Structure 1
Amino acid sequence: MTARAGATLEAVRARGAVRVAVSQGIRGLSLRGTDGRWSGLDADIARAVAAAVLADPEAVDWQPVPATARLAVLAADETDLTVCNLTWTMGREAAHPVLFAGITCYDGEGFLVRTADGIEDPADLAGRRLAVHTGCTTPVNLEAWYGARGLTVEPVGFPDPAGAVAAYAAGDCAAYVLDRTALAGIRAGLPHPAAHRILPAAISREPMAAAVRESDPQWFRLVRWVLQLLICAEHAEASGADRGAAADLAGPHGPAAGVDEGWAARVLAAVGTYADVYERNLGAASGLDVPRGPNELWTRGGLHYAVPLN
């Protein structure tokens, strides 16, 4: 596929909004509130891009899509960006004309179960029906984990979170299998959250990432550095510097990336650092209280490494 560099940026500016594919509703990642406003870690990443490009974090055309369409809508030029609890895999980049611009959240496949069932380990679910999302890596992960142990399960696919939740809540499925951060939001939305638990074990590596079309390297570069800015700004604060130091370092490079020198300051004013984004949507302040774990900075034992901005 050939393309003119900058075509996406020009189209976004002409439209006055960034078209973003998000989930059909997962608390903590991307969920539309009763007031119509989207919230979540993925939603804030979208706002950060809009702030950089359009100077307006709310200039987003939200497009909730099923898991099966997350990359298809991007490849078809129906969206400009996908931030939709989407795992970065070689298979996805090889099969679609897309590139992953950076990891938004390190995660792993987990299990939501009813506390009363006494399930302590994924092996206890052998032979049971498990609710999963169609279009996700879950069935492959389940086959790999259970198959290696001579066990089997029956994945039951649903096109959207609502269907999977309903089947699990009704007892039709013994567990709901999804990324653990997403399960935290699902659990919180159940009528009696305390009656359910997320098993401690994770059976896969799920680096959730933002994706763009491969045809526009300038747009790819811009989205990548918006993500890196959030991590660099957190690193700056953790090192005793003001977050403005990260904006100052990134700002002069804006024109070469297609934006002005104020882009980085706008992003940080709109959503804060990565720590702010995580705490607001998944941390204690969100009510979900998902430990940062691998989503900590590398200086604190996590996997997020701040790429230099200078």
Structure 2
Amino acid sequence: MTRRKATVIGFTAVLMWALLALLTIGSAPVPPFQLNMLTFALGGSIGLIWTARGAGLKVLAQVPWTVYAFGTLGLFGYHALYFTAFRLAPTAETGLIAYLWPLLIVLFSGLLPGERLGPLHLIGAGLAFVGAGLIVTGGQGLSIDINLGIVLAFGCAVTWALYSVLSRRLGQIPTESVTVFCLATAALSLPCHLALEDTQWPATGLGWASILALGLGPVGAAFFTWDIGMKRGDIQLLGVASYAAPLLSTLALVVAGLAEPKPSLLLAALLITAGAALAAWASAGTKRSVTRASDA
């Protein structure tokens, strides 16, 4: 698989995550950890079917338990920190801090062997982060008050960035291993749900359809395609391009009539697009430099 193809496959995860907010709203009144349990169980079950029809279930037995522990901590840890942060501090500032993970992916990727982090990558990530900030805050000012919710939001950003970047070091581990990550995350979500939440089920067919769609896409296939992108694609470009998720998510809510269009959306779109374009240009420039060096 080429680096470009893997990058495109990885970006499909961003497109699926853009529907996360819309489908989560549609799944109401199911509480977060119960929703986590249901959707990850569905995503993992689909992964089992895909693995059985492809490489075979025996490939899962060949993966070291340490890898499964790492993947489960990444998926479950991120969502547990995210949900808890918003319970403690449901503010725009919390959302913006949580959305530091694409920028952190770009920064952390510079520590990987064989990767080059250039100034344009950093500038592009910064522009995209500002664009995401306009979406999360609605163009209003920020007043960061350090509290436990903010700290947990930063923790979830670091967790997902480390999970994504360190996945690169596990390039020899088959993507089928994500199946176990999902199933283990669903299993860990069950006791959290029983301890912290009251069980509630969707009252309409739309609610059940939303849960099914979540398990198929944003909380299912997205983690498999993201794994491919992180292991074989352009990690800096994917990091910057991830800021398209809040933009596309907001646009989906506007189309569904669940959010009002704002002038700040246009500026955010321009900033995120410019940031991604800079990152793509920087990556292309790095590739050209490597090619010239190898030809010399």
Asked if these proteins are the same fold (TM beyond 0.5), I'd say no
Please classify the TM superposition score into its range, dividing by the shorter chain length.
Answer: under 0.3
* Structure with larger RCO (C-alpha < 8 A, sep 6+): 2
Higher helix share: 2
Higher strand share: 1
